[in-house]
Each structure stands twice: as C-alpha cells, then as structure tokens.
Amino acid sequence: MSPQATGLGLLWGLVVTVGGCRSASVPAPRQVMLQQSWELEPGDVVGGYLVTASLGDISIYLKGHRLRAPFSGDIEPAAAGVNCIYFSTPEIPAYLFRFCGLRRPHLGPITLGEVMGSGEYVHFATLRRQPDGTWAIVEPSSNVLERALQSR
C-alpha cells in the first residue's frame, strides 16, 4: 500500500472515530420569525466586526465559566446569529430563551443543571410566542438567567 493510501486510511479512521464520539443527530438550526426587527441583530457584521447581541439582549461576563440548563428541555442551534442557541422547556412552553456566545454548546435534549456550554460573555434574550406564530423579544427573565448561572 502506498504512503498516500495509508495516510488517507488513517485520516478516514480518525474521522470515523471522532465522528462516532458525537451525537448521531445534530438538531437542524431553528428559524425564528421575530415580530420586531432592528437594523442590527446578532450575526450581522458592522465595520468588519461581528454583532453578538442586540436590543433586548442582556450581556453577562461569564469569565469562561459554564452555563447550565435552567430546566430540563431541548437545545437547538439558531439559524440566525453566531454561536447562538435556543433553549426550550415544556415547563414554560410559550417561551424560548436565546443564548449567544457559548463555545461548544450542548445540542439536543438536556436535563436540569447539565452544562449548556461556556464562554467569556453570554448574551441572553427571552422570546414569547405570539398568537400569529411569530416570536416577540420580551423583558428578560431574571429567574431563568439566575438558574442558568448557578453552579450545581
């Protein structure tokens, strides 16, 4: 066997091995239709810099610490925004909670207190489902944010 074929075989084996350590199904990015729109939103670029938060977001300096699931629920990647996830829970079904800025976020089902991710800063927004099916950014829930910030 040639050195190139051996190298490709080893590379493929590594890809399969590393890939096997991850969840078999990564949730598709969630598209959320916001009732409001602003000129600048997470994911936009201004002057070559990435916008990581917007009107309605609360920014917390995490100092690299972990953020934990405030309830048992589900985490989906956000279609808009960079490093943004949506957390939902059957305990509060009319709400979504957006967290942006997390490194290596947990995706899929999650239990209360399990690590959602970590980061230097996290940007948090609370969204409420409207009767027409859109979502409105509403006053952030300090209770949900406090639960996510607690060490367990």
Measured between its terminal Cα atoms, the distance across the chain in Å is: 53
Domains of the chain: 26-149 (2.70.70)
pTM > 0.85: no
Confirm if 125 and 56 have CB atoms less than 8 A apart. yes
> pLDDT tens digits for 37-71?
777 777 788 888 878 777 788 899 999 999 999 99
Confirm if 86 and 78 have CB atoms less than 8 A apart. yes
